[in-house]
Amino acid sequence: MNIIKRLVAGIAFGAVAATGAAAQDPIKIALIHGLSGSAFEAFSKQAQTGFEMGIEYGTDGTGEINGRPIEIITKDTQFKPDVARAVLAEAYGDDEVLLAVGATSSGVTVGMLPIAEEYEKILIVEPAVADSLTGPDSNRYVFKTSRNSSMDMQAQALALQPDENLVVATLAEDYAFGRDGIEAFKSALEGTGAEVVTEEYVPQGTTDFTAYAERMFNALKDREGRKVILIYIAGGGDAPGKIQAMDPSRYDIEISMGGHILPVLPTYKRFPGMEGAVYYYHEAFDNPVNEWLVKEHKARFDSPPDFFTAGGMSAALAVVKALKEAPDYETETLIETMEGMSWDTPKGQMTFRPEDHQALQDMLHFKIRVDDAVDWAIPEKVRIIPADEMDIPVGRNNQD
């Protein structure tokens, strides 16, 4: 029986149970993700699969917490901020969900934050990344299980082993994800002696990177030291491949970037030996939660879990932990329970920082290995970068 059928069965049982009818009412949770209208749809589907598997794992297969079945209500943002706000309001209001989880795009999710505050209900951000989602414009009802741009880029900076010999040009998309990421990267380099010599920002959906690459080449080519183009682009367009095709090596310039989802990793075979940082790779984390996820995902889908799958599971396990520990399900009680809460995930323990509700977590420093027997490039573990090695800025202070 798959998890959806198990959850439906649990709901049906709760409806007909003769004892404790009120206690059997389902706990409604909304998944607010973009399911149509963007290439990022794959991220949403992974997150949903991971969330469902996380509920299964966290409830020992029952789909119930404290005798109450979990009911998952899925909403499609269509990757449009106005639609996202509307469906989140619908979930909180008409559907009367206890809490919501989402969304996929940082730019879309920003618009959802005030809706959580308006309805005074919890929004768990997963898998959107931007630091601003727990920043000054966020609010106390928002918790974030996904990593943020500062984690991405501090880990990326550590993987580059920065010193006064390192000069970098950056390329990112021109929206919250990209700009927050580059700001975080520059912050991580402070005090190391490394220098960012130019920053290029491209519109989402860009496919021609020629002019941007030429400007970066010109900024780097006459510099002494190790010269790196850092690419921080979540969408398509194949910026790394197109820039590499322009032969940056003629200027002794190398390309660096973070890891990616499995469907994109075959393109990384063009970069053997490249080092970077990533949120998750299924072979890199050794713990019981990840062992279960990898085994079950391979058995059910004939493939290993991807990193948004791990993210979705992490969000679900945070929900399960909070609902098991909270003495009641009033919003204020849940906030008090979740602030400072630690829980186990496929990538180890995470902790919600009380000040801004960002989940602090480890990251993976990898080196690309190419194996002809594997369809994708393998981001082989160099080491796990522990959460306490990264100085992640506090986005907002919930005590203010």
Average pLDDT for 87-101:
98
SS3 content of the chain, % helix, strand, coil (to 5): 40, 20, 40
The answer as to whether 272 is a domain residue is yes
Same domain, 320 and 274: no
CATH of the domain at 317: 3.40.50.2300
Backbone angles phi, psi at 378, to 5 degrees: -95, 115
Same domain, 171 and 130: no
The answer as to whether 154 is a domain residue is yes
Alpha carbon 371 to chain centroid, angstroms: 27
**CA pair distance 175, 390, nearest whole angstrom:** 24
Percentage of the residues of the chain whose pLDDT score is greater than 90: 84
Give the global pTM: 0.87
Same domain, 379 and 335: no
Are residues 400 and 136 in contact, defined by beta-carbon separation less than 8 angstroms? no
Domain region containing 239? 150-278+364-389
Q: Above 50 in pLDDT, residue 255?
A: yes
- Exposed (0-12), middle (13-18) or buried (19+): which is 373, by Cβ within 10 Å? exposed
- What pLDDT is stored for residue 181 in this prediction? 85
The answer as to whether 394 is a domain residue is no
Q: Above 50 in pLDDT, residue 16?
A: no
The answer as to whether 192 is a domain residue is yes
The answer as to whether 397 is a domain residue is no
The more confident residue out of 236 and 330 is: 330
Same domain, 167 and 90: no
Are residues 54 and 296 in contact, defined by beta-carbon separation less than 8 angstroms? no
Nearest CA to 309 out of 133, 56, 83 is that of 56
Are residues 57 and 313 in contact, defined by beta-carbon separation less than 8 angstroms? yes
Same domain, 257 and 168: yes
Same domain, 185 and 274: yes
The encoded tokens of residue 339 equal: 């602030």
Are residues 179 and 199 in contact, defined by beta-carbon separation less than 8 angstroms? no
Q: pLDDT tens for residues 34-69?
A: 999 887 899 999 999 999 999 999 999 999 999 999
Residues counted in the chain: 400
Q: CA 334 → CA 74, 114, 291, 337, 355, distances in Å?
A: 22, 18, 29, 5, 15
**CA pair distance 268, 259, nearest whole angstrom:** 9
Domain total for the chain?
2
Q: Above 60 in pLDDT, residue 124?
A: yes
Are residues 318 and 145 in contact, defined by beta-carbon separation less than 8 angstroms? yes
- What pLDDT is stored for residue 332 in this prediction? 98
Q: Above 70 in pLDDT, residue 370?
A: yes
The structure tokens 């960012």 sit at: 196
Same domain, 251 and 379: yes
pLDDT tier, 86 (very low <50, low <70, confident <90, very high otherwise): very high
The encoded tokens of residue 124 equal: 């768990």
Same domain, 375 and 233: yes
- What pLDDT is stored for residue 22 in this prediction? 55
Same domain, 166 and 45: no
Same domain, 175 and 214: yes
Angle of helix 41-58 relative to helix 307-325, nearest 10 degrees, comes to: 40
The structure tokens 């297969």 sit at: 61
Same domain, 89 and 206: no
Are residues 364 and 279 in contact, defined by beta-carbon separation less than 8 angstroms? yes
The alpha helices in 145-238, defined as continuous H runs, are 149-159, 176-189, 210-220
**CA pair distance 179, 133, nearest whole angstrom:** 13
> 78's torsion region: left (phi>0), alpha (psi -120 to 50) or beta?
left
Average pLDDT for 131-136:
93
The answer as to whether 176 is a domain residue is yes
The structure tokens 């800025």 sit at: 393
Nearest CA to 307 out of 318, 297, 299, 320 is that of 297
- Exposed (0-12), middle (13-18) or buried (19+): which is 41, by Cβ within 10 Å? middle
Same domain, 124 and 257: no
**CA pair distance 7, 258, nearest whole angstrom:** 36
Are residues 69 and 13 in contact, defined by beta-carbon separation less than 8 angstroms? yes
The answer as to whether 77 is a domain residue is yes
- What pLDDT is stored for residue 6 in this prediction? 41
**CA pair distance 190, 374, nearest whole angstrom:** 38
The answer as to whether 400 is a domain residue is no
